[in-house]
Structure 1
Amino acid sequence: MSKFFYKGRPMKKPTHSSPGFETNATVYLGTDKAPAQISVQSEVRKEELVAIFAEHGWASKIEVNPDQEENIRDLEILQERENTSQAQTTKAAGRNDPCPCGSGKKYKKCCAAA
């Protein structure tokens, strides 16, 4: 059996317990690791919310407590996040892209020169 030699300094052993893996991964609301925490006052309202969560594929923990006021803040956060991600962004034409006016010329020769 031969020894392995290399140039340079010896490598230090990693200080964390799991080398090669991201230990501080981001956890998103609505997933199995961080389900949305919802409290409602009736079973009927719970069924409505279960349908909404199932439609979008979000994970949730819904608690029915008639004495406590309704708390659906996590649902509102998820819906806002979905609405902002669906917004269409139009990319501006680059200098060498065809002009969006439909002239067939390059953007830099047509509308950018104006």
Structure 2
Amino acid sequence: MVSLYEQWKDLIENQTEKTFHKFWEEYSSTEKKIYSNILENKKTTLSGTVKDLYSEYEADPVLFMGFLDGINSSLKNELKLEDLTEESNIELEIDFEKLYFNMLKAEADYLYSLEQWNDILDEARRNQIIKEFKQSKTVRKEKSPGRNDPCPCGSGKKYKKCCGAN
């Protein structure tokens, strides 16, 4: 029997240009519905069997596995998705700050712009997370030594007489 996670992976990998738009619309609306409910009810923990949870959110089992795949890196204890079945008992402890950061990273504006975030993280904290996210994407180039600077190899010679001599 193929696991839900493998079915999710197959679903993603087998999308064509024709089917992708419909798939993405269905998946993103399911994801948005689940996150809206979690944020609205300030649920930091979800627990139960996989089947109970996808039934509670009226979600397709495979799309719910996609939700679990997406939220997994924002949990305090990550799940082993490959081992999950419909009867598996799971407990999701959500770290909301990490979740917001990961939504920014995934460029999921339909999720990080949900108005329910206002009750979870104040605007100042959200702006701080956005700033941290932008800084994490900034590439910093170290200043290379000038010709007359000491060589970084530690020899004590000038850079131009040591490692800079080509």
* Bigger helix fraction: 2
- Rg larger in structure: 1
Relative to the length of structure 1, the TM-score reads: 0.35
Q: Taking CA–CA contacts closer than 8 Å with sequence separation of 6 or more, which of the two structures ends up with the larger relative contact order?
A: 2
The alignment's TM-score, normalised by the length of structure 2, stands at 0.26
